[in-house]
Structure 1
Amino acid sequence: MIHPDQPDWHDVRGLGRAEAAARLREEGCNELPGSRHRSLFALILEVLREPMLLLLVAAAGIYFVLGDAREAAVLLASVLGVMALTLYQEQRTERVLEALRELSSPRALVVRDGELVRIAGREVVRGDIVLLGEGDRVPADAVVLAQRNLVLDESLLTGESTPVHKRARTAGEATSPPPRPGGDDLPYVWSGTLVVQGSALVEVTATGPRSELGRIGKSLQSLSAEPSPLQRQTRVLVRSFALAGLGLCVLLVLAHGLLRDGWLAGLLAGITLAMAILPEEIPVVLTVFLALGAWRLSRRHVLARRAAAVETLGAASVLCVDKTGTLTLNRMRVHSLVVGEASFRIPTEGGAALPVVFAPLLEHAMLACEPEPVDPMERTLHESGRRYLASDRRFADWTLQQAYPLTRTRRAVALVWTRPEGGGVVAAKGAPEAIAALCRLDPAATSALLAKVEALAAQGLRVLGVAKAEVAGNGPWPEDPCDFAFRLLGLVAFVDPLRPTVPAAIAECKAAGIRVVMITGDYPGTALAIAREAGLDAGAVLTGEALDALDEPALRAQLARVSVFARVVPEQKLRLVEAFKAMGEVVAMTGDGVNDAPALKSAHIGIAMGQRGTDVAREAAALVLLDDDFSTIVEAVRLGRRIDDNLRKAMAYILAVHVPTAGMALLPVLLGWPVLFFPIHVAFLEFVIDPACSIVFEAEPAEDDLMRRPPRPARRPLFGRRILALSLLQGLGMFVLTLIVYALGLHQGEGQARALAFTTLVVGNLALILTNRSWAHTLPATLGRRNAALWWVVGGTLLALALALALPALRGLFRFAMPTPSALALAVVAGLAGIAWFEAFKWLHRRNPDRPGTRAA
């Protein structure tokens, strides 16, 4: 059964794999002009613009002016060290982003060596034979070899919103397309345009920069994405700290210059304070966390197309999911056939021959399917036909003349077939009530039919009605299939087993305070049966027809108690999303079709199906589910909560650690004491802070109660007043103890005081890392958690501190004097004691859970 305008792709050999690879090397990848990634040189230029490095270079210049070449050389060496560390982090992030770009590249279905294969869109080459279907994004400029009802949206290139129809190229017609896209009845398609209806077989004529889209690619690349709420929050925070730091630096320079008559030394002290107070790690942490978070999601079969989705996952409170393929396995199998009062159960394997009375039903159910079906339901109908009907071969020379697709008002499809000897049939299949309407059944017959459907649906079966109409001649065909004289043939029931992982995943969502809502186009009885089997709160069901009859207040009242929506068309999903959002929920919505795109775009977290979804749905979504499995969505939420939790811990640590560093750079000067910090000391601390906040906290395992907490309120910022207060209190406690140790050490001399205070601060810094690993568990409880990066940072820091204290050359560089063992022990104890109050706070909370929590979430 083939359409005359659509040759079987099996008859097309396409390019050979070797030839395609050679063209890819010769002509380049099929992508827009311009660099897809930053080169090493570009990364170095970006790193050199970092404020911390600029301050270090300025400090080195001042040391040269003061004649201290050794100190200047050490600071310049520190610049190289910081550059190396930053470049490592940047390149790691860039590699992750490049891998994600490869994953998110649009896919194309091509014929290579006579086989149908799906490849990345960037690997399409000139001469490739590409199969296009509804919802696909055209991967390259091409000429249409064959098509069926092909309609494209070319507004990306033309600005015209009206879709245009396409035809196949005629013999002798030019291969190269006209200068400009647009216009009906052309045999050409252009890269980036969208198939909104039909299918086609096309041959690629131009790729990448040679395509029409490539010629305007530079203007498209100039468009920048709007910053996310989290990025705006961090910019405000960094800007506030920078302004406060600038004011304090000016104050310190003036104080040092006026009180000590040393303006160059005052400028050096001001630079040191600026280095100590500037939280330049925050943008780095944000980039690293979101990039690595997206990479971790991809390893769990979830592609994050937008960074904002990673930060929003932790706040998801409603998951709106489809039934077929998401909650179920999407392995449709014909379960039974019903004709009148008779029924036939299809055995799983083998079994008796099909009774003759059921043959017309199965025959016309097959005829109502695509000739080369992709839909699992249509594939299983073809398989059943091949298994039971010897007569299916007699349809091989029939011609498909007309297709009437599913619409919002008619939930059935109808295909017109003609025979070589003349005449033909119209085969229709769809929702039983739609088929009843096509057959013009009276109310009594309709009620009897729907009673049978209810009985089947109560078993969790999906039910389709099938009808036929005889036609004479070869057209013209009416615009509406209702004009045909249809006769009801019977019902076909399908079984699609629930995924084994779904009940546990739904139970986990309930424990996490996340509501799961099923939205399906299936029959209400089928939806309720599957919902109950999955463990959903399925007390009632709301149909799409009933939904349309509700105003907004009534709909919100229904949403508060209904979790199963049946007979819903894609356009109604958008209304449900908007209603949930109006109720203050953070909504995740799954979808796969072209018409699902508005709902996916509107949802806080749009989730497209990677296996059965269209390109349009994937482009509209923030996440793409590569395995279409509901339990994978729950895994993504769990990981999103972990990323959200660890990001808060990292931010809390950054804010806390800058308090004692900045305080000890400022207060001794204002008190008239010897200067504690010089740029070399702050550079040393940066080598601890940078990897700790961007690598250690990112790798921190999830808290054990992560999925037993309610979702984070949507309007609560990532680091609100409470986190700021607790973080600043941690830093303040460390600052007070360091100041006390410094004051006591001054009785033993400036060098020993500096060594003791610096030791206190370094040990306190490590203590802040350890205590902020969890805001719920005390430090001893977290020591057993696996985090290799943590122990590399702790071990490396303690080794470097020991060398700075023990080696005379390093002691001179850091202006240290060797402290006595007892004084050193005091400094270590003081560094650890700075977090004692917070550890006691966590312990008291665990003893009395009714007190306000200490979680960073």
Structure 2
Amino acid sequence: MNRGAPASASLPPTDGLSEGEAARRRQRDGPNELPVSRPRGVLRLAREVASEPMFLLLVACGAIYMTLGDAREALMLLGFVFVVMAISFFQQRRSERALDALRDLSSPQAQVLRDGALRRIAARELVVGDVVLLAEGDRVPADMDLVEAANLAIDESLLTGESVPVAKEAASSPQADDASKAFSGTLVTRGTGRGCVTATGERSALGRIGQSLAGIAGESTPIQQETRGVVKQVAAIGLALAGVLSVAYGVTRGDWLHGVLAGLTLAMAILPEELPLVLTLFLGLGAWRLAREKVLARSIPAIERLGAATVLCVDKTGTLTANRMTVRRLWSGTAVYDRLQSPDPALQEELHGLLEYAVLASHRRAFDPMESAIVAAGHQLLAGTEHLHAEWTLVDDYPLSPEMLAMSRVWQSPDQRDRLIAAKGAPEAIVDLCHMDADRSAEVAAQVRLMARDGLRVLGVAQATFGAAPLPGIQHDFDFRFLGLVGLEDPVRPEVPHAIAECREAGIRVVMMTGDHSATAISVARQAGLDADAAVVTGVELAGLSDEALEARLAQTHIFSRVQPDQKLRLIRAFNARGDVVAMTGDGVNDAPALKAAHIGVAMGARGTEVARESAALVLLNDDFASLVTAVRYGRRVFANLRKALVFVVAAHVPIVGLSVAPVLLGWPLLLMPVHILFLQLIIDPACSVVFEAQPLEPDAMKRPPRRADQRLFDKAVLVRGLWQGAGLLALLVGLYAGSRLLAPPGLTATIWRGP
């Protein structure tokens, strides 16, 4: 086993901490877990509901009916109190479990040395200074400095967004760099290691993301804010008019109690208490329709807001790409195979040996995504040939090391005495093993540069044979023959180019933010249909930009590469500050703060982490990027149909208000009681509004730019149209009422239209 040099200044005790010392440190620092977010309490919710105008009006009317001795009417009105509370509860009660998911992710099991013995404990019990052993397939339980590493590679895409595992080595000094650190929540894909815990809980890299999440407050959508504002303004006007009506009734008729009841009736008639219910119905039905399209709405109002999105910020890994490596290109000098350019899926005969030995140089049960891709390509492209060797026996292997960035595996076939050696690794290491001349080396180097420019991860492959004698100590003692190069990539999802084209047609700008290399980002952007010719801003450049300089660069930049989680969050906030309505897609823990800070966070459901799903407003259950365009379409439909429904609501309110005032002004008996108004506004109006929700989207709605950020739901056009329609209906109803009083026999009118 190749081991890195230990960091002598920070080397932990060889037998680990004692149980007593571990307990003292855990008492000092707390458990190795993240704090839990607290959902809104029931008492706080009850206080918010009790402050609603409709709640107060219902209680006041119920109390008056009790005073009048009409218990049936009082109980009916007070029953509506529970209806209002249930509606408010449904709208407001939503648990925020992102920190819970982070806590679960940060608390796997861990192998730790305590009192000189190896023990497996819950990761929440780890403390700073513990010695932890890592092996292939383990989830890293805490931040740590590596003091030993043998062929160790860790998948850090959960934190960085980069899909390729990072090779690790032991720290050579107390000031270890990232190559000698393992971070909480990441996954060991190859090799073994030993580390000393340096940070636990909320002080770890994963915990800092949790703190970012906790510090981002959710905000209401413009429609919710506008609806609340309209209800409050109309409620104030209604209460003022109700006071005037109560005084007029009491002065003219001498019945102050019924005057107060008439005033409250008018206030209830004016108050648009059905607006929150109509909004809930529309968004709820929109969420149901989206669920049938495999899009889960965790925050239902986000559906409408997505229709106003102007910028879509997308993560590369797992969002534009499949988050799994595949073999894209094979090159041997005499033949080339490219998965995207070869119409014939069959692999040329000249490349069979290259892929055969690439498979032999990989583990049969691979954790490393590149090895998994090579094995999968072998089973696909070499199926039915003699180049797959399930019956061969593995004799030995030579692991990757910092000194030699190549690995070799030695095989014994059943029908040969000689051993067959398959090697793969960094192209320059394979060239060195093959002792190639300068011309051939230059040819290979030129091809490597060409493949790297296309965003591919490049491996060289070589083959050798060796007699049955004892194997040599190093790989250089084999007589290797160069076979070719394997280019791997994280492929673009097939639905992405069309979806991005639809976004562009709908006036939505798409921006990529990734932790990967710029060349890889440009290659993916080109395949996805993004503007790959514009300038790319890297994380290093971003760190040096002031807020003003960043704002100037945002308008022309479509690709941000090598960005850290906090930089993604900064970019989202910068777009927000420009006045954009920002939607953000992602699937990793590193995306969670940006998902929560965006106006609409969209997470990938199948491959995405639980943290990303809990931080997002929408979840694409089948990871189909095209579903996002469907969600935009539904968002625009909800807003357009809501405006149609509001015209109806305004038109319906005018005759209700008029029939509440006219009898008092004309000396007629009261026509509408509070219970009638509640029935009309909480049952009839919402039920009729559903008709508008089912209206199809206009054919050109996805070819128009998003609506302006300042466009109001209740604008002049909606109010004027509703008032005119309502005025006509009021005139008709007042005429019918007056006519019925004139034509009815004496005494019958008082019986049919009985006042209080």
Give the TM-score category using the shorter length.
Answer: 0.5 to 0.7
Answering whether residue 132 of structure 2 is matched by residue 138 of structure 1, we say no
Q: What is the aligned partner in structure 2 of residue 73 from structure 1?
A: 72
Q: Deviations over 1:165-199 (max 9, x none)?
A: x7799857485788796665469969xx9944334
CA distance in 1 between partners of 2:357 and 2:76 (Å):
84
Q: Deviations over 1:744-794 (max 9, x none)?
A: 55543699998xxxxxxxxxxxxxxxxxxxxxxxxxxxxxxxxxxxxxxxx
Answering whether residue 718 of structure 2 is matched by residue 723 of structure 1, we say yes
Which deviates further from its counterpart, 707-716 or 346-355? 346-355
Q: How does 1:768-779 map to 2 (within 5 A)?
A: none
Q: How does 1:530-679 map to 2 (within 5 A)?
A: 530-531=527-528, 536=529, 538=531, 540-544=533-537, 548=541, 565=559, 569=563, 577=572, 580-581=575-576, 583-679=578-674
Quick one: structure 1 residues 500 and 86, their matched pair in 2 at CA, closer, same or farther if it must change by over 3 Å?
Answer: same
Q: What is the aligned partner in structure 1 of residue 296 from structure 2?
A: 303
Shift of 1:637: 1.1
CA distance in 2 between partners of 1:322 and 1:494 (Å):
19
- Is the Cα–Cα contact under 8 Å of residues 316 and 512 in structure 2 kept in the other structure? yes
Answering whether residue 273 of structure 2 is matched by residue 276 of structure 1, we say no
Could you tell me which of 506, 517, 527 is aligned with 1:512?
Answer: 506
- Is the Cα–Cα contact under 8 Å of residues 138 and 195 in structure 1 kept in the other structure? no
Q: Deviations over 1:519-538 (max 9, x none)?
A: 6756477446524xxxx465
Q: Deviations over 1:604-643 (max 9, x none)?
A: 3232222333344334433322222221111111122223
CA distance in 1 between partners of 2:653 and 2:545 (Å):
54
TM-score, with structure 2 as normaliser: 0.62
Give the letter aligned to residue 110 of structure 2. V
Q: How does 1:152-551 map to 2 (within 5 A)?
A: 173=119, 175=121, 184-185=130-131, 195-199=184-188, 227-321=220-314, 326=319, 333-339=326-332, 343=336, 348=345, 352=349, 354=351, 356=353, 366=362, 371-373=366-368, 375=369, 378-384=371-377, 388=387, 390=389, 398=397, 452=447, 463-466=456-459, 491-494=485-488, 501-502=495-496, 504-517=498-511, 521=516, 523=520, 526-527=523-524, 530-531=527-528, 536=529, 538=531, 540-544=533-537, 548=541
Which deviates further from its counterpart, 636-645 or 655-664? 655-664
Q: What is the aligned partner in structure 1 of residue 11 from structure 2?
A: none
- Is the Cα–Cα contact under 8 Å of residues 651 and 722 in structure 2 kept in the other structure? yes
SS where residue 633 of structure 2 aligns? Answer: helix
Quick one: structure 1 residues 696 and 35, their matched pair in 2 at CA, closer, same or farther if it must change by over 3 Å?
Answer: farther
Quick one: structure 1 residues 415 and 639, their matched pair in 2 at CA, closer, same or farther if it must change by over 3 Å?
Answer: farther
Could you tell me which of 677, 681, 690 is aligned with 1:686?
Answer: 681
Quick one: structure 1 residues 603 and 488, their matched pair in 2 at CA, closer, same or farther if it must change by over 3 Å?
Answer: farther
SS where residue 719 of structure 1 aligns? Answer: coil
CA distance in 1 between partners of 2:441 and 2:667 (Å):
95
- Is the Cα–Cα contact under 8 Å of residues 36 and 103 in structure 2 kept in the other structure? no
SS where residue 331 of structure 2 aligns? Answer: strand
RMSD, aligned α-carbons: 6.1
Quick one: structure 1 residues 716 and 79, their matched pair in 2 at CA, closer, same or farther if it must change by over 3 Å?
Answer: same
Quick one: structure 1 residues 568 and 672, their matched pair in 2 at CA, closer, same or farther if it must change by over 3 Å?
Answer: same
Quick one: structure 1 residues 274 and 363, their matched pair in 2 at CA, closer, same or farther if it must change by over 3 Å?
Answer: same
- Is the Cα–Cα contact under 8 Å of residues 588 and 608 in structure 2 kept in the other structure? yes
Give the letter aligned to residue 144 of structure 1. A
Shift of 1:250: 1.3
CA distance in 1 between partners of 2:752 and 2:63 (Å):
17
Taking only the aligned residue pairs, the percentage that are identical comes to: 41
- Is the Cα–Cα contact under 8 Å of residues 522 and 532 in structure 2 kept in the other structure? no
- Is the Cα–Cα contact under 8 Å of residues 137 and 615 in structure 1 kept in the other structure? no
CA distance in 2 between partners of 1:660 and 1:435 (Å):
85
Quick one: structure 1 residues 581 and 267, their matched pair in 2 at CA, closer, same or farther if it must change by over 3 Å?
Answer: closer
- Is the Cα–Cα contact under 8 Å of residues 218 and 596 in structure 2 kept in the other structure? no
CA distance in 2 between partners of 1:370 and 1:180 (Å):
30
CA distance in 2 between partners of 1:730 and 1:169 (Å):
83
CA distance in 1 between partners of 2:279 and 2:45 (Å):
17
Q: How does 1:10-159 map to 2 (within 5 A)?
A: 55=57, 59=61, 62=64, 73=72, 76-77=75-76, 82=80, 138=104, 143-145=109-111
Quick one: structure 1 residues 354 and 602, their matched pair in 2 at CA, closer, same or farther if it must change by over 3 Å?
Answer: same
CA distance in 1 between partners of 2:521 and 2:692 (Å):
47
Quick one: structure 1 residues 138 and 370, their matched pair in 2 at CA, closer, same or farther if it must change by over 3 Å?
Answer: farther
TM-score, with structure 1 as normaliser: 0.56
Number of equivalences: 620
CA distance in 1 between partners of 2:324 and 2:662 (Å):
70
CA distance in 2 between partners of 1:715 and 1:456 (Å):
47
SS where residue 657 of structure 1 aligns? Answer: helix
Q: Deviations over 1:639-666 (max 9, x none)?
A: 2222333334444433443233123312
Q: Unpaired runs of 5+ in structure 2?
A: 4-34, 134-139, 143-158, 160-182, 191-200, 203-212, 412-420, 463-471, 475-480
- Is the Cα–Cα contact under 8 Å of residues 660 and 735 in structure 1 kept in the other structure? yes
Give the letter aligned to residue 754 of structure 2. R
- Is the Cα–Cα contact under 8 Å of residues 338 and 490 in structure 1 kept in the other structure? yes
Give the letter aligned to residue 708 of structure 1. K
CA distance in 1 between partners of 2:451 and 2:655 (Å):
70
SS where residue 315 of structure 1 aligns? Answer: coil
- Is the Cα–Cα contact under 8 Å of residues 583 and 602 in structure 2 kept in the other structure? yes
Could you tell me which of 785, 790, 815 is aligned with 2:754?
Answer: 815
Higher RCO, 1 vs 2 (CA within 8 Å, ≥6 residues apart):
2
CA distance in 1 between partners of 2:141 and 2:736 (Å):
75
SS where residue 677 of structure 1 aligns? Answer: coil
Could you tell me which of 682, 699, 710 is aligned with 2:705?
Answer: 710
CA distance in 2 between partners of 1:236 and 1:333 (Å):
53
- Is the Cα–Cα contact under 8 Å of residues 278 and 686 in structure 2 kept in the other structure? no
Shift of 1:231: 3.2
- Is the Cα–Cα contact under 8 Å of residues 290 and 634 in structure 2 kept in the other structure? yes
